[in-house]
Structure 1
């Protein structure tokens, strides 16, 4: 049984039919993929990051981390920005807005200098994008002038947000890297530079596996491997921690946030909403289960709201924040201790003895 309620929410002044979006990634890298996702019910797309730089991707470039009989607990990818020319990508965005006018299309962009950021911002708006995401967080770029190396520099984050904001009238979102100790610092810089929203988190730098026969990290690329981004259910606790940190910061608590990282089920979605995200982005779960996973998210969130009498999605956002406090603020006198009922324990012991021995004492 499925249930559909009004799950619409406004994010940065843009009306979204629901909070569920594809994150910028291989699952949203051309028209056909994005169209299929939107037809399945996703509220919008963060289109795969577009840059002036066109990467020459290796193959293989993916690996998984698994545990016992699980398909995977985490996913590693070494893919960079889109490998298509800008005119092709912005053409896809323009076509998507024409064919799905009620859906939200976000252009994710990444430059390496002022001119590139400016050009990409102008082209994104010209193509009809609803918002722009500045990717300051990709951990596997081959240039230190792009990706997470830039995202760890508050000065560069602020500056490039200023450049993009000066070249568009669209809302600008800064996508943060988790490969940093204190995400609030570059996030504040992004807002100072003109960004209106924050996206968190991108993938976590990782080495997932070592091939024990070859003694080489995986995936093996002509005898070598590299550190690159890790995603999937295993990073959800890290993502929730960073979102909580951002929303507890006095200078950022009122800034709209789109949450990313290990989201697979409707319960995951609700957790991100409760900690202050008002928009949800998904990739790895789609790679594992397909685009129709959004149907479970829509139905699950609808039932949750029905069960708790919640009228609007925005009424959920941030409701759990007050429960997260510093370790020094916990009531250390509060203790739940086990009290053993000796009589009941003896009775259970006798029953187990009879079950296991048939009542025959040796």
Structure 2
């Protein structure tokens, strides 16, 4: 009997995002799982198409410990929701862009997104220029991190159309690369800030970042979790529990006529291939994953690719383009 390779039985999973070929639609989200050279190498070797590298900035944040809290799921050692107090990459901008340069040199076929966040227009422009010089394929403007302590950073931007316009233009001034605007769910209506980003130079959108949250209270000292010496803060909520929220925002963006044809990155609670398919059916071209990688490891990519491929084979679907939207 002729041996049939595992790859030959898979459907065509490649996608085109902003003119860039991706071997499959699955990326690591800008997060703790994509924050070092070794982590990204491990992900690429496992089969992920690309990474959005943890947000690079000139602002040096100081991380607290512990900074995570998980709400347990129905199975032992699983969780349905996850809160984090992560901020930006702890490494300098120069160190991070050198890591991106090395990654692109080792994995030229993989897609590398440089997630950036500046404190003013000049910083957004310089970071964008450094990203292009380092060999990044795309730039992601972090307009949505929910736990930045200073005004005018993170989700403050995503709620302010004037800041979105200002910083998108500043990013475009620094680079010719495709720009992704990563939007915040901590808002009632995402279409208008998304339109502002596109009108001022962004080529695509990513949704959603994490949801501002308090998961539970320590009943001994009345701090919310994670408890850091009796203190805590509002943090970003992710995991399976936010998927319905993410799908609602993706639906809003994909069905809004002025945004017709704008490529979408879907993010939020993707754990199974069925989750991934939901985002694609609502209009996403590519997907970013974080929390389930923290829970199950980088090899979850095997389940995501194989499940989606089998579904496509069973329904005689030749490419993901046929499913999108």
The TM-score normalised by the length of structure 1 is: 0.86
Shift of 1:12: 0.4
Q: What SS class does the counterpart of residue 199 from structure 1 fall into? A: strand
Q: Deviations over 1:333-353 (max 9, x none)?
A: xxxxxxxxxxxxxxxxxxxxx
Aligned-partner Cα distance in 1 for 2:28–2:10: 20
What residue number does 1:262 align with? 269
2:118 matches 1:116: no
Provide closer, same or farther for how the CA distance between residues 260 and 116 of structure 1 changes in structure 2, counting only shifts above 3 A: same
What residue number does 1:17 align with? 23
Structure 1: stretches of 5+ with no match in the other structure: 319-362
Shift of 1:216: 1.4
Q: Deviations over 1:183-223 (max 9, x none)?
A: 00110000011100000000000001111222211111121
Q: What SS class does the counterpart of residue 210 from structure 1 fall into? A: coil
2:230 matches 1:223: yes
What residue number does 2:147 align with? 140
1:53 pairs with one of 43, 46, 59 = 59
Name the larger-Rg structure: 1
Q: Deviations over 1:273-302 (max 9, x none)?
A: 000000000000000000000011110111
When the two chains are superposed, the root-mean-square deviation of aligned CA atoms in Å is: 1.1
Q: Which runs of 4+ in 1 moved over 3 A?
A: 67-70
Alignment of 1:123-162 (within 5 A): 123-162=130-169
The TM-score normalised by the length of structure 2 is: 0.96
Aligned-partner Cα distance in 2 for 1:69–1:200: 28
What residue number does 2:47 align with? 41
2:110 matches 1:103: yes
Is the CA contact (8 Å cut-off) linking 2:11 and 2:319 kept in structure 1? Answer: no
2:67 matches 1:65: no
What residue number does 1:245 align with? 252
Q: Deviations over 1:208-240 (max 9, x none)?
A: 111122221111112111111000000000000
Shift of 1:69: 4.6
Aligned-partner Cα distance in 2 for 1:261–1:144: 25
Q: What SS class does the counterpart of residue 79 from structure 2 fall into? A: coil
Q: How many residues align?
A: 318
Shift of 1:68: 5.5
Q: Which has the higher contact order (CA 8 A, sep 6+)?
A: 2
Structure 2: stretches of 5+ with no match in the other structure: none
What residue number does 2:316 align with? 309
